[in-house]
Amino acid sequence: MSASHFAQPAAAPAAQPALIGLDWGTSSLRGWLFANDGAVLARRDGGPGILGVADGEFRTAFVGFCEPWLSGQPDLPVIASGMIGSRQGWREAAYVRAPAGFPDSATGLLALDDAAGRPWRVVPGVLAVATDGEHEVMRGEETQVLGALGAMPAGGRDGLFVLPGSHGKWVRVQAGRIAAIRTSLTGETWAALRGHTLLGRLCVDPDPADAAAIALAWQAFDLGVRQAHAQPGALLHLLFRVRTEGLFGRLRPDQLPAYLSGLLTGAEVADGLAWRATDTTPPVLVGSGEQLQRYTRALACLGVTAIVAPPDRAAAGLHAIARAAGLIGSV
Amino acid sequence: MSASHFAQPAAAPAAQPALIGLDWGTSSLRGWLFANDGAVLARRDGGPGILGVADGEFRTAFVGFCEPWLSGQPDLPVIASGMIGSRQGWREAAYVRAPAGFPDSATGLLALDDAAGRPWRVVPGVLAVATDGEHEVMRGEETQVLGALGAMPAGGRDGLFVLPGSHGKWVRVQAGRIAAIRTSLTGETWAALRGHTLLGRLCVDPDPADAAAIALAWQAFDLGVRQAHAQPGALLHLLFRVRTEGLFGRLRPDQLPAYLSGLLTGAEVADGLAWRATDTTPPVLVGSGEQLQRYTRALACLGVTAIVAPPDRAAAGLHAIARAAGLIGSV
């Protein structure tokens, strides 16, 4: 990977739990147990997303997921971000309007379930209205962006943050506040095309143990990125090439998933780079795993070196917003 | 609809069956019984597409579908176009290479099942290789294009033909021969997004009896077409607007399917118009039903008046190719 990483702060030892943070999305729930200074004392993955919670029993789902942390301290304050604060979640937390930074997110926290004996707060999503009236929104990503901002080198209060996903987000931060958002339906389109078209049936996943096949797949990914960038209005046409390149043996079946991914990722990245206009600071990628690798590589294909944010930016953002809101004391 | 139609030739009475024509695609089979002069004596719809024929029993499927026509004349010649001539069909008919017109399709006919006592021929698909090496293909659409060409005013041997569908085809004809092809995965992408994304779940089909709702849906379609044209590299971003426009009540749920369709149709049409470059002859639309209406309207939104070919161009093309091949006698 060609991108540089931030230096990651060393975790200071701190034994006393002070806060539970939750990243509670549509299809997943992750949690962290924080010390007052932000050190992560414990973490849990694999909880139910909001679609996996039956009959609105969110409190039951929360207590079940955090039981080991609550048993000793049932009054630990809780802060959550993500779709838990949407209409489909526990209760809707009204969007705060861009430009929005730490003070706005902290002020906008929704007190959700404090009656149960512990402060239980939800980070509001951010709404950005463009000059042409276009509405853009995020829920959960604002917390990651603010968490990434906190990890930027001293003085870094401006930048372009890129969060790959089902709905890929490009986020412009100015003077420490989220100023503009651009979302692309990249991941969801990928899944729909891969899973539910004749095109998808031509795709064969490469053998992960076959290094030569993996290298060829990345070549096909790069080809897709470059074609999508070179022909910006031709995405639907290029998608048909997944079929013809396979049909005429110009790409192997186990190159086709990467080629398809390259076309879609390339289309998003080319659009995002055009959107950033004259901003020449390196984009900051916030994410993990192979998805992060794809975006780093797509940007590199188009001559742009990205910075990769440290992992777990949601955790960092949750703790920092809780601190800004006074939900936990200062260090 | 703003487009003009060709004059349709009046059917001359002719009692004697001379040819069976089949348009046998992936998911459907249609047939016509022709007199020698091309008059349609009978037609049938609703036969099984090649994916609906079990165990390669294509002859059985054919005989079952055409039984009423074969009972009196079991030796009637048959000509078929479409995916029946693909690797997944009865047998593969090698593509003829563009530029390809009537003589090439006639010469390239595959004799498939003549041993059963009747001439049984398949129209080959067309392969076009662009200067950059890109391969483009069609199977079935070449027959419709040649059929539309036959209906053009005298002297019309050049033009741009547009065939909406799962795989929308734009076809450049020069001197009576198919010279270049550009395919977009529009219909298949539409179906995958509509049926298999969260986006699709927000879409509510308008009540066909509610004229006001239908008018509003067409307005949303036009909006999508114009946005896709104005922002050629932004399709994945615009797709997310289906969500936000609904979320903020800027479009009604029963406008969202049309808006999504407008974005995709607009992206294809804008790309096709860019591809036709300096050609200013009106595009000829070959198709039927609401799909035809969508493309006529999308072109009109972008200031282009289309010509609509008469219906059943597949039938006209099948008869004309059979004549060119000598499968039936001259009138």
pLDDT digits (tens, 9 = 90+) for A194-217: 999 988 889 999 999 999 999 999
**Could you tell me if B222 and B282 lie in one domain?**
yes
| Stronger pLDDT, A71 or B13, i.e. the higher one | A71
- Considering its fold, how many domains does chain B have in total? 2
Q: What's the complex ipTM?
A: 0.92
* Inter-chain Cβ pairs, chain A and chain B, closer than 8 A: 117
Q: How far is CA B158 from CA A66, B174, B284, in A?
A: 71, 5, 11
- Angstrom distance (rounded) from CA A81 to CA A21: 8
Residues 6+ apart with CB under 8 A from B237: A182, A183, A184, A185, A268, A271, B231
Length of chain B: 331
| Inside any domain, residue B285 | yes
Q: How confident is the model at residue A154 (pLDDT cuts 50, 70, 90)?
A: low
- Compute the Cα dihedral for A71, A72, A74, A76 and give only its sign: negative
* Calpha distance A224→A294 (Å, rounded): 12
Alpha-carbon gap, residue B20 to B81, rounded angstroms: 12
Q: Are residues B210 and B279 in the same domain?
A: yes
CA-CA-CA-CA dihedral for A154, A159, A165, A168, to nearest 10: 170
Cβ within 8 Å, pair B268-A236: yes
- Assign 3-class secondary structure to B282-296: CCEECCCHHHHHHHH
Please report the pLDDT score of residue A269 as a whole number.
98
Q: Give the N- to C-terminal CA distance of chain A in Å, as an integer.
A: 36
Task: Tell me the nearest-neighbour CA distance from B142 into chain A, angstroms.
Answer: 17
Q: What is the mean pLDDT of residues B229-254?
A: 96
Residue B80 lies in a domain: yes
Residues B299 and B316 reside in one and the same domain: no
User: Does residue B162 lie in a domain region?
Assistant: no
pLDDT reading at B6 higher than 90: no
pLDDT for B11 beyond 60: no
> Does A221 lie in the same domain as A138?
no
pTM of the model: 0.92
Same domain, A318 and A284: no
Using a CB-CB cut-off of 8 Å, the residues of chain A touching B188 are: 197-199
Same domain, A315 and A302: no
Contact A149/A168 with Cβ under 8 angstroms? no
Tens digit of each residue's pLDDT (9 = 90 or more) over A60-88: 999 999 999 999 899 999 999 999 999 88
Residue A163 placed within a domain: no
Specify whether A106 is located in the same domain as A142: yes
Interface of B with A (CB under 8 A): 26, 134-137, 167-168, 182-186, 188-189, 191-193, 195-199, 232-237, 239-241, 244-245, 247-248, 250, 264, 267-268, 270-271, 274
Interface test with B, best of A95, A240, A273, A275 (most B CBs within 10 A): A240
A180 φ/ψ angles, rounded to the nearest 5 degrees: -155, 155
CB within 8 Å: A196 and B196:
yes
- Establish if B111 belongs to a structural domain: yes
Based on the fold, state whether residues B271 and B316 are members of the same structural domain.
no
pLDDT band at A95 (very low <50, low <70, confident <90, very high): very high
Mean pLDDT for all residues in chain B: 92
Q: How far apart are CA B292 and CA B144, in angstroms?
A: 14
- Residue A162 predicted with pLDDT over 80: yes
Domain hosting residue B254, numbered range: 186-308
Contacts 24+ apart (CB under 8 A), A66-71: A66/A20, A66/A31, A68/A42, A69/A17, A69/A20, A69/A31, A69/A33, A69/A42, A70/A20
Q: Is residue A168 part of a domain?
A: no
Q: What is the DSSP letter of A25?
A: -
CA separation for the pair B208, B200 (Å, rounded): 19
Helical pair B289-301 and B211-230, crossing angle rounded to 10 deg = 50
Query: Which candidate from A134, A195, A274 shows the least CB-CB separation from B233?
Result: A274
Residue in A closest to B186 by C-alpha: A236
Which tens digit of pLDDT belongs to each residue from B70-112? 998 999 999 999 999 998 899 999 999 999 999 999 999 999 8
Inter-chain residue contact B236 with A235, CB threshold 8 Å: yes
Mark out chain A residues that contact chain B at CB-CB < 8 A: 134-137, 167-168, 182-186, 188-189, 191-193, 195-199, 232-237, 239-241, 244-245, 247-248, 250, 264, 267-268, 270-271, 274
Q: Same domain for A20 and A48?
A: yes
Query: Which among A128, A177, A139 is positioned nearest to A157, based on CA atoms?
Result: A177
Residues B201 and B91 reside in one and the same domain: no
Please, is B117 exposed, middle or buried when counting C-beta atoms within 10 Å of its C-beta (0-12, 13-18, 19+)?
A: exposed
Contact B123, B93 (CB under 8 A): yes
**Closest to B313 (Cα-Cα) out of B120, B115, B173:** B173
Does residue A172 sit within a domain?
no
Position A118 pLDDT exceeds 70: yes
Shared-domain flag, residues A130 and A10: yes
Measure CA B19 to chain center: 22
Percent of chain B exceeding pLDDT 70 equals: 94
Rounded Cα gap, residues A207 and A213, in angstroms: 7
For residue B246, what is the nearest residue in chain A, using CA coordinates?
Answer: A135
Average pLDDT of chain A to the nearest whole number: 92
Does residue A10 surpass a pLDDT of 70? no
Cβ-nearest to B192 among A183, A196, A248: A196
**Is residue B304 within 8 Å of residue B273, measured between CB atoms?**
yes
Asked which of A77-81, A275-279, B51-55, B113-117 is least confident by mean pLDDT, the reply is B113-117
Per the domain annotation, does B68 fall within a domain? yes
Q: Domain holding A287: CATH number?
A: 3.30.420.310
Co-location of A224 and A88 in the same domain: no
CATH number of the domain bearing residue A49: 3.30.420.300
What b-and-e string marks burial along B88-111, b requiring 16 or more CB atoms within 10 Å of the CB? ebbeebebbebbbbbebbbebbbe
Which 3 state secondary structure label does DSSP give A16?
coil
**CA-to-CA distance for A320 and A123, rounded, in angstroms?**
11
Q: What is the pLDDT of residues B180-238, one digit of tens each?
A: 999 999 999 999 999 999 888 899 999 999 999 999 999 999 999 999 999 999 999 99
The pLDDT value given to residue B198: 86
- Alpha-carbon torsion A318, A320, A324, A329, what sign? positive
Q: Residue A323: what pLDDT?
A: 95
